[in-house]
Chains A and B, each alone.
Chain A
Amino acid sequence: MAAIGSLHNDVIHDAVLDYYGKRLATCSSDKTIKIFEIDGDNHKLIETLQGHEGPVWQVSWAHPKFGVILASCSFDGKVLIWREDESTKNWSNIAQHATHTESVNCVQWSPPELGAVLVCGSSDGNVSVVEFNDDGNTSAVTIHAHSGAVYAAVWAVSGTVTKRFATGGSDGLIKIWTYDAASNNYVEEAVLEGHSDWVRDLAWAPSVLPKAYLASASEDKTVIIWTQEQSNAAWKKQVLKAPGGDKFPETVWRVSWSLSGNVLAVSCGDNKITLWKENLKGEWEECGSIDE
């Protein structure tokens, strides 16, 4: 287990391994992003990316078929795209998306089959979907997703690849959006009500089966697992039984699925991370944790 100590000089908000697990990207309130080379238990800082004018909230690695590319979003309202040059190995900022008027809280690359497409959510209530075409220009679509801030936007992962994503916001709602070719825009497919306070994070379980698993983390200290047997069926909800009752001790900030989609990591404001698995009876049980 490699512990990477004080690398940023402020709180870190996201830490993500790349596709092959060889590179780690971290981003922080010190407005920088750091890239590490990971080899077994040791790590080496290879680059510090500067450019954001505010704390950087989230980073997302693009699929390797597009090159070594990272997207980042920040309190400064911008989404920056960074690329490592194949030969010189130097990183540079190759594109910027700055249409939001408030903090951009989340950013995520789409499944590679859809191309190089980013979904970003902002405190101005809007979600923007930015497509980077091969000829270098970009096309962006903006959707007013939530009446308050948007804190989570995640692409759907299912057998058939469709332009579809879920968003969560400060109105406590989760909305599923599907691309409508006629209007060349995304339309609301479903609204999932279940949280009594902000939806902080969403995670769509990677799976090739038609059954979709969507986990949601909320300021109301609960995690809900939403399941849909097959597309346009109804969504069923199941509240995760937390260790001490049905609520976690603090705000639940993040949820993330393992690559095989059967283990859920829940990151709670009490600085503890717990791992959960569905048992044969369909209930979710804790199966591990990471202490401070």
Chain B
Amino acid sequence: MVKLKEIPRTATFAWSPGAQLPFIATGTVAGAVDADFSSKSVLELWDLNLVDKSTNGFQLSSPVVSVGTDARFHDLIWGAVNTSHPNGIIAGAQENGTLVLWDPDALTKDPNSSPLLSSTQHTGAIKSLDFNTVQANLLASAGSKGEILVWDLDKPGSPLTPGTASSRLDEVESVAWNSSVAHILATGGNTGFTSIWDLKNKREVLHLFYPGSGGGGRRGVSSVVWHPDNSTKLITASEDDNAPVILMWDLRNANAPEKILSGHDKGILSLSWCKRDGDLLLSSGKDNRTLLWNPQSGDVLGEFPIATNWTFETRWYDRNPELFATASFDGKISVQSIQNANKPDQVAAAPKPEGNDFWNAPSYVDTQQPTFSLKQPPRWLRRPVGASFGFGGKLVSLQLDKSQTPATKSTVKINRFVIEPKSASETEKFKE
């Protein structure tokens, strides 16, 4: 794990979804003030330029695009890639209740181009957004006063509500679409309840509550994420400083959490479940720490360098989850990789240019200390099958031995493959 890049902003952010080079969109975060107490709020696009591994390339200085906005952001997402938007759509949840959609390509061409949509259907602040991964034209938004809206991007004028909640909703902090069932939505908020909505029947199917370890503390749910492959599993995080736990639920028995992950010292503010490997979960929170878990086993796989203030948001780069980023109230978004193969001593500490105090600022010097490297390789690297040809019409095949699940053994076979009888006999003659 080593810090690759840093964006000097106190902002909520979103990774670019497409295949092109990685970008990060940032929106000035609501509820925080910069040193200069300016009330300005901007949406910015940053080219990470990962090829530049030099020391002065570490901190990104200027965004590719910077657009003033009238209100700050609680959440920012970038998705819904389709033919009309090859580089997706950026959606911003503003503290004044406005939902704003931008086309990143249009912004790059002309930063003052007007947004695709600017809607004030929400009467209170919007806290969380999510694009539906199964039906790319659906967007869910949730926020204050228990307001939850589902938008069809093709006709954004008339968003729907998912139905009436059984328990009184207040501040809905997090909304998330199920990863494989298009009409199932989860929301969590400061009442401590997590609601599961069925949009086909427009009603709340289930609500999950964990009384926690006694004590009357407020057990708000700060974040809800669905399992990337298993449609009945989800994880919620508690922002309660007394019981900062991560709860894994299986909806087939929703009375109690299936697993409780404890490791944070203070309330958790953000979760991100790796879409390409369900055994990798990121969490960050008020203890300024970012932890990597294996939710299946409940183990903490590692911890990343501590920020100097709350790490309020952490997100995998879904396109290439070797990378993830964490935003902190210490004014930095740090882009990191989950692996640092060479031991610290082998990684030459970046030479500090002398005589220039700026480079000795803590943000630069201590952040090059890798403290953790993933021991077990992520699933996407573990190639299970292969074939290669050999002299004399041989074909070596390599396949998983599926007699036990999960398969941890392989079978190798050396087959004779004959396509044209003519060529096989020639190699036989040749071998004598």
- Report A's interface with B, CB cutoff 8 A: 1-17, 19-21, 24, 26, 28-29, 38, 41, 43, 54-55, 57, 75-78, 98, 100-105, 123-125, 144, 147-149, 170-173, 196-198, 253-254, 256-260, 262-263, 265, 267-269, 271, 273, 275, 277, 287-288, 290, 292
Q: Which of A13, A15, A20 contacts B396 (CB 8 A)?
A: A15
In the assembly, what is the distance between CA of A269 and CA of B383, in Å? 9
Complex Cα distance A9/B401, Å? 12
Determine whether B382 belongs to the interface, using a CB cutoff of 8 Å to chain A.
Answer: yes
A269–B407 CA distance with the chains assembled, in angstroms: 13
A-B contact pairs, 21 of them (CB 8 A): A1-B415, A2-B413, A4-B411, A5-B401, A11-B410, A13-B382, A24-B414, A54-B377, A78-B341, A102-B322, A102-B339, A103-B341, A144-B51, A147-B21, A148-B319, A148-B322, A253-B383, A258-B419, A265-B388, A267-B386, A288-B419
Q: How far is the CA of A72 from the CA of B282 in the complex (A)?
A: 32
The answer to whether B341 touches A24 (Cβ under 8 A) is no
Given contacts A148-B22, A288-B417, 20 further A-B contacts (CB under 8 A): A7-B412, A8-B409, A9-B409, A17-B414, A24-B396, A100-B342, A101-B339, A101-B340, A101-B347, A102-B339, A123-B381, A147-B21, A147-B51, A149-B322, A257-B389, A258-B389, A262-B419, A263-B389, A267-B398, A273-B397
Q: Is B230 part of the binding interface, using a Cβ–Cβ cutoff of 8 Å?
A: no
Say whether, besides A8-B410, A103-B341, A171-B19, A263 and B417 are in contact (CB < 8 Å). yes
Is the C-beta of B117 less than 8 angstroms from some C-beta in chain A? no
Interface of B is mostly: loop
B385 contacts partner chain A, Cβ-Cβ < 8 Å: yes
Q: State whether A103 touches B51 (Cβ < 8 A).
A: no
Closest CB in chain A relative to B278 CB, distance in Å:
15
Interface range, B side: 35 or more
Nearest first, the 4 A-B pairs at minimum CB distance are A77-B341, A17-B390, A148-B320, A12-B410
Tell me, in angstroms, the Cα distance from A3 to B400 when the chains sit together: 13
A268 to chain B, nearest CB (A): 7
Task: Given the known inter-chain contacts A75-B341, A101-B341, please indicate yes or no for A4 contacting B412, CB distance below 8 A.
Answer: yes
| Given A100-B341, A263-B419, also A269-B389 (CB < 8 A) | no
Nearest chain A CB to B96 CB, angstrom units: 36
Minimum CB–CB distance for A123 against chain B, Å:
5
Q: What separation, in Å, do the CA atoms of A270 and B94 have in the docked complex? A: 45
Partner of B319, one of A19, A26, A104, A170: A170
Closest to B51 in A: A144
CA distance A263 to B418 in the complex (A): 10
CB distance from B343 to the nearest CB of A (A): 10
Interfacial residues, chain B to chain A (CB-CB below 8 A)? 2, 19-22, 50-51, 319-320, 322-323, 337, 339-342, 346-347, 377, 381-392, 394-402, 407-417, 419, 423
| CB proximity of B24 to chain A, nearest CB, Å | 13
Shortest distance in angstroms between A238's beta carbon and chain B's nearest beta carbon? Answer: 20
Q: Which of B21, B392, B397, B400 has the most CB of A within 10 A?
A: B397
- B321 to nearest A CB, angstroms? 9
The answer for the CA separation of A115 and B384 in the assembled complex, in Å, is 32
Given known contacts A8-B410, A11-B410, A21-B390, A171 and B21 CB-to-CB distance under 8 angstroms: yes
B42 to chain A, nearest CB (A): 25
Nearest-neighbor residue (CB-CB) of B339 within chain A: A102
A23 nearest in chain B by CB position: B390
Residues A256 and B388 in contact, CB atoms below 8 Å apart? yes
How many A-B pairs fall under 8 Å by CB?
200
Instruction: Check A123/B383 contact, CB under 8 A, given A17-B394, A55-B377, A102-B339.
Output: no
B50's closest neighbor in chain A, by CB?
A147
Separation in Å of the A230 CB from the closest CB of chain B? 25
A174 to B398, CA, bound (A): 25
With A and B bound together, what is the CA distance between A144 and B21 in angstroms? 13
In the complex with contacts A26-B412, A75-B377, A171-B20, A265-B387 CB distance below 8 A: yes
By the criterion CB–CB under 8 Å, are A253 and B386 in contact?
yes
Contact A75-B381, Cβ < 8 Å, known A102-B339, A102-B341: yes
> Contact at B21–A14, with CB atoms within 8 Å?
no
Q: How far is the CB of B39 from chain A (nearest CB, A)?
A: 36
For A147, list chain B residues within 8 Å (CB). 21-22, 50-51
Closest to B346 in A: A98
Closest A residue to B22 by beta carbon equals A147
B417 & A260 in contact (Cβ 8 Å cutoff)? no
User: Is there an interface contact between A19 and B413, defined as CB atoms closer than 8 Å?
Assistant: no
